[in-house]
Chains A and B, each alone.
Chain A
Amino acid sequence: MVGINSTPMVRLESVVKRFGATTVLEDINFNAAKGEFISLVGPSGCGKSTLLKIIAGLHPVSEGSAIIDGMEPKNAREEMAFIFQEANLLPWKRVLGNAELPLRMRGFAKEIRLETANKMLDLVNLSHAVDRYPWQLSGGMRMRVSIARALTLSPRVLLLDEPFGALDEMTRDNLNEDLLKIHARDNWTAFFVTHSAAEAVFLSHKIVVLAANPGRIAQVIEIKLPEKRDALTRESPEYLNYVAEVSHAIRTVH
């Protein structure tokens, strides 16, 4: 990773985050290169979601700095997209209306909005459901809309906050495979918050294990599985070893 992409896409330097008197994150130093897929794992309350929101510019840092592609997070919104827990769709908008929302907010012409949104919905296999309302979709389909919506602006950094936590295992596995296909195509840098060691191993180049009270980086585990991963990857011994290693790391950090 180092060498070709020597300037990191996301740079976290001595990031400290306090809410009132409580220190939530302490001295976070981490760089992510272009195209790297990073998972953030750790016990509840370790501040992984907070860290994600700092990168997004939704929370200001208390000390240190977060730099996205050379910019302050708030100025780098054009390059970032956030995928939330649950799908976070507007219930009064149809699938297409939800997918084109980011383009609408940025004032794109209608033809461009519809063309891009339709293309992204096609990419997540939802072209048959563009006219449906969110309540008419399954949980997995809602999440697909959310992914399509995030992709409409061709982000260079994708931030995902436990996006598949509420889904059943099969739906989650399918979405993970699809996510990797899209990643191979677009090569964005990803920060993926999850509770699942298996999911983190399957998706990531690197897994950042956070410890709690205060939240800090305990360990960075590099996943040296082949770049191209599919359902069979989950059956390989290397994969299973990594899952065991990460589970152990999450359980024993302090």
Chain B
Amino acid sequence: MPALWKKNQFWILPTLSGLLLLIIWYLVSYVYGNAEGFDVQRIVIPFPHQIIEALYIERATLWASAIKTMQSAVLGFLAAVIVGYALSMLLASAVWVKQSLYPWVLVLQMTPVVVLAPIFVLWLGQGLPSIIMITFLIGFFPIVANTTMGLVSTDRNLLDLFEMCNAKKSQEILYLRVPYAMPYFLTGIKIAGTLAPIGAITGDLFAGSSQGGVGGIGFMVIIYNSQLKIPELFATAFVACLLGFIFVGCVNYLHWYLLKNWHDSVRRSDPS
């Protein structure tokens, strides 16, 4: 029995705590509703089943806006990966390059994206380009910081080995520096992956529109909020959370897949 419990507690405990939270939610919702009248209750703390109902009624709209947000998140994330990697290569190429550029990368990172967002909307207009830009800005710093670190910390002895082989600079980069930096790069990607959906939704708040039928998640937040459709707002939050999990899941899979054969952080078992 204790063995069975140990084996299954990883899902039993969160399920129990979730049920407990649900009960508390119903209680608060019920007490508040009785005190203030039904309509107010629905607006402030809807019952969980009302949220599920809203999720069902609005499913077509929410699905379409989820797809739209996912597109922005993926595009912004890819831009962050490509530009971030290229910038890391540049920063790692020579000390003087890093000294000249890195402080300005930091300045960009330290300026809150929500402050920059309206400026980019001014330049790029409402719609996808601005949203991608905002997603990119949120995601690219962790990639640059980690990858640069990986590229410059290559093991001295391995560099000597490549020199003894008369390796060309391009071979050293391709066969040594890039694979050596891979775990660092993937750590950067994991952080950027958690930020990308947030970036896409933030971008949507500033630059979203219902062009082409439906807006992204952030745009729907504004619409539902202005219409006081609170259960729908909660339903949207649920969808956004799900998006985040899907995105992070994909990135974590990539991390595992690329390192599974050799890196201490993920390889499955030790010999002997």
> Which residues of A line the B interface, CB within 8 A?
53, 56, 58, 77-78, 80-82, 84-86, 88, 90-92, 101-102, 104-106, 133-138
Chain B hits for A56, CB < 8 A? 160, 164
Is residue B262 within 8 Å, beta carbon to beta carbon, of the partner chain? yes
Residues of B with C-beta under 8 A to A92:
179, 182, 261-263
On whether A135 and B262 interact (CB within 8 A), knowing A77-B166, A105-B166, the answer reads yes
Cβ of A82 and Cβ of B164 under 8 Å apart? yes
Cα–Cα distance between A91 and B265 once the two chains are bound (Å): 13
Give the docked Cα–Cα distance between A136 and B261 (Å).
10
Provide the bound-state CA to CA distance between A85 and B160, in Å.
12
10 contacts between A and B (CB under 8 A): A58-B160, A77-B164, A77-B166, A82-B161, A88-B158, A90-B179, A105-B162, A105-B171, A133-B261, A135-B271
- Number of B residues near A (Cβ < 8 Å) is 25
Instruction: Tell whether B242 is near chain A: CB-to-CB under 8 Å.
Output: no
Using a CB–CB distance below 8 Å, which chain B residues touch chain A? 155, 157-158, 160-168, 171, 175-176, 179, 182, 261-264, 267, 270-272
Residue of B164, B270, B272 near A81 (CB, 8 A) is B164
Contact A84 B165 (CB under 8 A): no
| Cβ contact within 8 Å between B262 and A86 | no
Contact (Cβ within 8 A) B166 A78: yes
Q: In the assembly, what is the distance between CA of A81 and CA of B166, in Å?
A: 11
A58 with B163: in contact, given A105-B171, A136-B271 (CB under 8 Å)? yes
Whole-angstrom distance between the Cβ of B271 and the nearest chain A Cβ: 5
In the complex, chain A residues whose CB is within 8 Å of the CB of B271: 135-138
Q: Would A88 and B171 count as touching, CB distance under 8 A? A: no
Compute how far the CA of A23 lies from the CA of B264 in the bound complex, rounded to whole angstroms: 40
Residues of B near A104 (CB, < 8 A) are 175
Chain A residues near B162 (CB-CB < 8 A)? 105
> Is B157 a contact of A84 with CB atoms below 8 Å?
yes
Contacts of A135 in B (CB 8 A): 262, 264, 267, 270-271
CA–CA, A105 to B170, complex, Å?
A: 10
Closest 8 CB pairs of A and B: A105-B165, A105-B167, A92-B262, A102-B165, A82-B164, A91-B262, A88-B157, A136-B271
CB distance from A168 to the nearest CB of B (A): 14
The answer to whether B166 and A82 have CB atoms under 8 Å apart is: no
Task: Please indicate the chain B residues that have their CB under 8 angstroms from the CB of A136 in the complex.
Answer: 271
For B175, the chain A residues whose CB sits under 8 A away are: 90, 101, 104-105
A90 surroundings in chain B (CB, below 8 A): 158, 175-176, 179
The closest CB in chain A to the CB of B158 belongs to: A88
B179 A84 Cβ-Cβ under 8 A = no
In the complex, chain A residues whose CB is within 8 Å of the CB of B270: 135
Cβ of A144 to closest chain B Cβ, rounded Å: 15
Does A82 contact B262, Cβ atoms closer than 8 Å? no
Verify A80–B262 contact, CB threshold 8 A.
Answer: no
Which of A53, A84, A91 interacts with B161 by CB under 8 Å? A84
Give the contacting residue for A85; candidates B157, B158, B263, B272; CB below 8 A.
B157
- Are B164 and A58 within 8 A (Cβ)? yes
Shortest Cβ distance from B171 into A: residue: A105
Contact assessment for A101 and B165 in the assembled complex, using a CB-CB cutoff below 8 Å = yes
CA separation between A135 and B267, bound complex, in Å?
10
Contact of A133 among B164, B166, B179, B262 (CB under 8 A): B262
B248 to A: closest C-beta gap in Å: 24
Cβ distance A208 to chain B, nearest Cβ, rounded Å: 22
CB neighbours (8 Å) of A106 from chain B are 165-166
* Sample of 8 more A-B contacts, CB < 8 Å, known A134-B262, A135-B270: A77-B166, A88-B161, A91-B262, A92-B179, A105-B175, A106-B166, A133-B262, A137-B271
- What residues of chain B lie closer than 8 Å to A91, measured between beta carbons? 262-263
Complex: how many Å from CA A58 to CA B167? 13
Most chain B CB within a 10 A radius of its CB, from A78, A92, A101: A92
- Contact indicator B157/A86 (Cβ below 8 Å): yes
Which A residues touch B166, using CB under 8 A? 77-78, 105-106
> A58 to B160, alpha carbons, bound, how many Å?
7
The reply to whether A82 and B267 contact each other, CB–CB distance below 8 Å, is no
Residues on the B chain within 8 Å of A84, using CB: 157, 160-161
For the complex, what is the distance from the CA of A28 to the CA of B263, rounded to whole Å? 43
